Amino acid sequence: MAIPVLLPVLVAVLVVVATFLYQKLRFKLPPGPRPWPVVGNLYDIKPVRFRCFAEWAQTYGPIISVWFGSTLNVIVSSSELAKEVLKDKDQQLADRHRSRSAAKFSRDGKDLIWADYGPHYVKVRKVCTLELFSPKRLEALRPIREDEVTAMVESIFKDTTNPEMSGKSLLVKKYLGTVAFNNITRLAFGKRFVNDDGVVDEQGIEFKAIVSNGLKLGASLAMAEHIPWLRWMFPLDEDAFAKHGARRDRLTRAIMEEHTLARQKNGGEKQHFFDALLVLKDKYDLSEDTLIGLLWDMITAGMDTTAISVEWAMAKLIKNPRVQQKAQDEIDRVVGVERVMTENDFSNLPYLQSVAKEALRLHPPTPLMLPHRSNAHVKIGGYDIPKGSNVHVNVWAIARDPAVWKNPLEFRPERFLEEDVDMKGHDFRLLPFGAGRRVCPGAQLGINLVTSMLGHLLHHFVWTPPPGMKPEDIDMSENPGLVTYMRSPLQAVATPRLPSELYKRIAVDL
Ligand code: HEM
């Protein structure tokens, strides 16, 4: 009995070993830690991957091979090699690696994030660049951002001046997460699921449940993902994925119907993505799968990234009171203490912009970007990258590389006043949004939102560590994952510093 069961396993092991040896002998692959049969380096990778890869790069050099089971992953950690990947060989490396769950969620790449590079991708990307993220639309949606940021200030003010909270610290990410959630859902779906008292409505509860269920489903497969022949032991829960997809479609369609009715009743089209896509659907020949996929892409890619960036930045500002004070002095000088800041003030606040940039340098929320995949055989740094390999750029390591940054670990926004460094994909030392064909389409929106949140938090409050904690004791370690949360969510005391009439939400109905 044992032989028929073991035979397919044995054959599969032989196939994996043969594939590995074939690639190893035929190609000049980048160096890296020695892989084990079948599992490759999976058991050697430490949970916070970008740190582990950066350590390995110290030993093996700026381009390394890491085997996730039988899949070759190449990680580059220098700005020259990042340029090769994201500029010189960009087109051959612009496919995506889709895990089984990503394939399910995206209906096999019918969205943008998980689509391979090809006619579908080019079309959807064009919709994003020309239509959804055009400067005109970003400007038209600005009142939503300002509404949400001022709502955050009002909510922090209420909590921190509540006598029961006196002197106590706040969980910063609670407020940042609410801004990110409301901003992205309003921008994408044209709906605020949370009322003025902070109560989430039924659709909002469903919305949040779908997001968290998606994360749970995605995580449950992680290990079997990399060893194809093991997958039969970890079958996809087709039923759970189907239910998840149906639930997502049901909610999206319900919102779609509300919009169509509202448009028929009130006339006129709104600026948010949902209405825009309903109008653009025919012009660009977008299927319903693509439309729904795109809207949910915005939630996946745009929500946590912005909130996390601000949380890391605030931790840095509390650890560096000199920088906090200097940013506040600049805002006081430019905005004063009789009105609140707006995005129009940004151009006069170079130090604040540098604070945002410096925080994104040291703590990019996606330190390994999103994995790219080669659609052809290419050479990077003189090494072979066979077709079908995954390629990652360790933007975290590059942004801390002493070869290209002076005192890289120091949080010193002044460096960007001394030298203007682009962070939207033109300078390969600083790549929080990636670069090239797949550069983040939401980069400008992300920068605006992060800068605005930081500006308001600094203008309205002085931020200090929780009672009894010294700034240097704030835990700056990371949680594992594609998106890097702080391992210990930031707690801080917020002390108001402006006249109390400036803490009111500036609500808009868009
Ligand atoms: C601070 C905030 C943000 C950061 C640091 C960030 C970073 C990134 C990075 C590193 C990538 C992958 C690039 C690559 O694969 O080469 C990406 C992709 C993407 N981002 Fe962002 N992002 C942010 C905010 C946003 C926002 C606000 C949105 C939309 C509302 C958004 C939408 C997307 C989409 C749709 C993609 C996929 C692009 C593609 O595959 O072609 N991001 N982002």
Determine the residue of 83, 306, 440, 445 to mutate for testing ligand 1's pocket, defined as the one with the most ligand atoms within 8 A of the Cβ atom. 440
Q: Is residue 508 part of a domain?
A: no
What is the SS3 string spanning 323-379?
Answer: HHHHHHHHHHHHHCCCCCCCHHHHHHCHHHHHHHHHHHHHCCCCCCCCCEECCCCEE
309 lines ligand 1 (CB under 6 A): yes
Q: Give me 157's structure tokens.
A: 């003010």
Nearest ligand 1 atom to alpha carbon 395 = 10
Q: Is 442 in the pocket of ligand 1 (CB under 6 A)?
A: yes
Residue 510 lies in a domain: no
Please tell me the residue having the least CA distance from ligand 1 atom 25. 302
Q: Is the Cβ atom of 369 under 6 angstroms away from ligand 1?
A: yes
Average pLDDT rounded to a whole number, residues 124-130: 95
Q: Give domain status of residue 347, yes or no.
A: yes
Does the CB atom of residue 113 touch ligand 1 within 6 A? yes
Range of the domain at 12: 2-503
| 151 within ligand 1 shell (Cβ under 6 A) | no
Between the CA of 210 and the centroid of ligand 1 the distance, in Å, is 20
448 belongs to a structural domain: yes
Does residue 220 register a pLDDT over 90?
no
Shortest-distance atom of ligand 1 to CA 447: 1
* 360 CA: nearest ligand 1 atom: 5
Q: Which ligand 1 atom is the nearest neighbour of the CA of 308?
A: 1
Q: What's the first-to-final CA gap in the chain, in angstroms?
A: 68
The per-residue pLDDT for range 357-415, each reduced to its tens digit, is 999 999 999 999 999 999 999 999 999 999 999 999 999 999 999 999 999 999 999 99
Residue 129 belongs to some domain of the structure: yes
Instruction: Tell whether ligand 1 has an atom less than 6 A from the beta carbon of residue 298.
Output: yes
| 446 Cβ below 6 A of ligand 1 | yes
Question: Which atom of ligand 1 is nearest to 435's Cα?
Answer: 16
Question: Is 509 a domain residue?
Answer: no
Nearest CA-CA partner of 201 in 187, 182, 184: 182
- pLDDT bin (cut points 50, 70, 90) of residue 492 is very high
Interatomic CA distance for residues 153 and 168, integer angstroms: 17
Ligand 1 proximity of 297 Cβ (cutoff 6 Å) = yes
Nearest-CA residue for atom 17 of ligand 1: 440
Ligand 1 atom closest to the CA of 365, numbered from 1 = 5
Cα 490 to ligand 1 centre (Å): 24
Of 76, 80, 99, 77, the residue nearest 88 (C-alpha): 80
Question: Is residue 363, in this structure, part of any structural domain at all?
Answer: yes
Q: Dump pLDDT digits (tens) for 61-78.
A: 999 999 998 899 999 999
Write down the pTM of the prediction: 0.93
Count of domains for the chain: 1
Type of residue numbered 169: S
Going by alpha carbons, the residue nearest to atom 19 of ligand 1 is 440
pLDDT value for 1: 45
Q: Residues 483, 488, 489, 490: is their CA dihedral positive or negative? A: negative
> Is residue 61 assigned to a domain?
yes
Stretch 164-187: mean pLDDT: 93
**Which CATH number belongs to the domain containing residue 481 in this structure?**
1.10.630.10
Instruction: Give the pLDDT confidence of 427-451 residue by residue, as tens digits.
Output: 999 999 999 999 999 999 999 999 9
Sequence-ordered list of residues with C-beta below 8 angstroms from that of 157, at least 6 positions apart, any chain? 460, 496, 500, 503
